[in-house]
Amino acid sequence: MKSINQLTRSRALQAFVAPRLQTTQIPATNRLWKRCFSATPATASNQPGIDPLKLTITKTTTPKELIPAKDLVFGSTFTDHMLSIEWTAAGGWKSPQIVPYQNLSLDPSSCVFHYAFECFEGMKAYKDSKGQIRFFRPDKNMERLNKSSARIALPTFDGEALTKLIGEFVKLDSRFIPDARGYSLYLRPTMIGTQKTLGVGPPGSALLFVIASPVGPYYPTGFKAISLEATDYAVRAWPGGVGDKKLGANYAPCILPQLEAASRGFQQNLWLFGEEEYVTEVGTMNLFIALKNKETGQNELVTAPLDGTILEGVTRDSVLGLAKERLVPQGWTVSERKIRMADIVEASAEGRLLEVFGSGTAAIVSPVRSISYQGKMVDCGLKDNEEAGAIALQMKNWIEGIQYGDEEHPWSFTL
């Protein structure tokens, strides 16, 4: 019988893995804080890449009824169709297909069920005031999905080709995009390993699919500031781990701490890291802290640096970019630096904490009223009658303005 080892090391596997992955040369040192894995697209190899010209479309014969916009629940109803592209180690990417939304039929030994060979993206399509469909920074989603995929030995792909195909899919199902500000079509590109063996090794086959769900505004009646519980008993991510990749593996383990926080009345948990209790992420969002810097007295917008433990949020990057462009001229400092929970407590006590907010695709920004930490409530700077701080409000308006095409900006374009 062949052993797992023999299979892992077989020449066939190496042949298909080697050209797909370009791994940074790793010196044999003891530095854990490095980020080690980078990826090049599968198209760099000799295998067929994703080819939008080969797209086939099979339209549904039973179109769904549209759900009234006010009744939409995030990610619970889907459009008429889905985009689907198979990959095999031997044959590369097959022809893309748009087919009626349907169940996946998978062998129970498929590696996605056992070893979490899965990664995904969250992105949106918007209808602007002229009725045109828009994408917001899809290149960032494609770049991240390639990084996530390569990190778990799934195939990489040409991001522009996939964006084009998603565009075709969205145009076909465009009637599902609600025609109102704050509404959009949430898109979920997903890659799963489909190899039908239980040996732990790189998948020899995969499926890339995209489904779409019409969604409404995260805060339908205006912002509602949330309260967080600082989590110090469980750890989301660590140096040398995969917390910076959008892998399924990062999500299931987060539910229990979130339920713990919810059971005590908090909307989300706040992940702390290490003995220093660095503030990292909030639930499934990045975190921003606006404060008066203790040393300089200047206004500073702070978020955790991309040290391998933080998800590289597209909204995070957008907030940083806009802050550098539009807040710095107003005297703000913008920092990607480690910040301790103790620093936030101190800033709050000294009246230097201006506001705190999460950032993510679902809500854009999510203002924070308070953080429960070591049995005490840390006030995050909002007045009693305020549900959002000035920076969070400003960011939401700037980003939404770009997403819906009110402001022409390179981050947004029409299909």
Which of these ranges, 21-29, 55-63, 291-299, 347-355, lies near a copy of itself under the rule CB under 8 A?
21-29
C-beta separation of 123 from 80 below 8 A: no
Q: The dihedral of CA 144, 147, 153, 154: what is its sign?
A: positive
Distance in Å, CB of 253 to a copy of itself, minimum: 5
Asked if residue 62 binds a copy of itself (CB under 8 A), the reply is no
Q: Which of residues 163-182 bind a copy of itself (CB under 8 A)?
A: none
Distance in Å, CB of 377 to a copy of itself, minimum: 12
Q: Which of residues 334-393 bind a copy of itself (CB under 8 A)?
A: 362-363, 373-375
Member of 9, 175, 294, 326 binding a copy of itself (CB under 8 A): 9
Q: How far apart are CA 344 and CA 272, in angstroms?
A: 12
Member of 136, 186, 288, 398 binding a copy of itself (CB under 8 A): 186
DSSP label at residue 365: E
| Coil, helix or strand at residue 195 | coil
Asked if residue 73 binds a copy of itself (CB under 8 A), the reply is yes
Distance in Å, CB of 114 to a copy of itself, minimum: 5
Q: Residue 175 is which amino acid? A: R
Member of 52, 75, 305, 321 binding a copy of itself (CB under 8 A): 75
Could you tell me how many residues of this chain bind a copy of itself (CB under 8 A)?
109
Distance in Å, CB of 194 to a copy of itself, minimum: 11
Asked if residue 58 binds a copy of itself (CB under 8 A), the reply is no
Member of 54, 94, 181, 188 binding a copy of itself (CB under 8 A): 188
| Coil, helix or strand at residue 332 | coil
Asked if residue 11 binds a copy of itself (CB under 8 A), the reply is no
Distance in Å, CB of 296 to a copy of itself, minimum: 29
Asked if residue 7 binds a copy of itself (CB under 8 A), the reply is yes
Question: One symbol per residue from 206 to 245: x for binding a copy of itself (CB under 8 A), - otherwise; what is it?
Answer: ---x-x-x-xxxxxx-----x---x-xxxx--xxxxx---
| Beta-sheet strands, E only, within 137-196 | 184-193
Under 8 Å CB-to-CB from 20, ≥6 apart: which residues? 39, 40, 42, 45, 150, 155, 156
Which is closer to a copy of itself, CB of 300 or CB of 358? 358
Distance in Å, CB of 231 to a copy of itself, minimum: 9
Member of 40, 44, 78, 338 binding a copy of itself (CB under 8 A): 78
Distance in Å, CB of 322 to a copy of itself, minimum: 24
Q: Which of residues 31-50 bind a copy of itself (CB under 8 A)?
A: 31-32, 34, 36-37
Which is closer to a copy of itself, CB of 36 or CB of 328? 36
Which of these ranges, 2-10, 50-58, 349-357, 395-403, lies near a copy of itself under the rule CB under 8 A?
2-10
HSE-up of 65 (CA within 13 Å, CB side)? 3
Burial 217-255 (b: 16+ CB within 10 A, else e): bbbeeebebbbbbbbeeebbbeeeebbbbbbbbbeeebe
Q: How far apart are CA 9 and CA 2, in angstroms?
A: 11
Q: The dihedral of CA 259, 229, 318, 150: what is its sign?
A: negative
Q: How is residue 88 written in tokens?
A: 């095999």
The C-alpha angle 136, 210, 407, rounded to 5 degrees, equals 10
Member of 22, 38, 58, 109 binding a copy of itself (CB under 8 A): 109
Q: Which of residues 254-293 bind a copy of itself (CB under 8 A)?
A: 254-256, 258-260, 262-263, 267-268, 274-275, 277, 283-284
Member of 15, 90, 198, 377 binding a copy of itself (CB under 8 A): 198
Give CA torsion, residues 75, 145, 247, 226, to 10 deg. Answer: -50
Member of 48, 248, 321, 401 binding a copy of itself (CB under 8 A): 248
Q: How far apart are CA 64 and CA 272, in angstroms?
A: 44
Q: Which of residues 114-153 bind a copy of itself (CB under 8 A)?
A: 114-118, 120, 151-153
- Closest C-alpha to 232, from 181, 273, 264: 273
Which is closer to a copy of itself, CB of 36 or CB of 90? 36
Structural element, H or E, at residue 230 = strand 226-231
Q: How far apart are CA 286 and CA 398, in angstroms?
A: 18
Burial 310-325 (b: 16+ CB within 10 A, else e): bbbbbbbbbbbebbee
Q: Look at the block and give the residue holding tokens 């750890």.
A: 235
Member of 193, 367, 389, 405 binding a copy of itself (CB under 8 A): 193
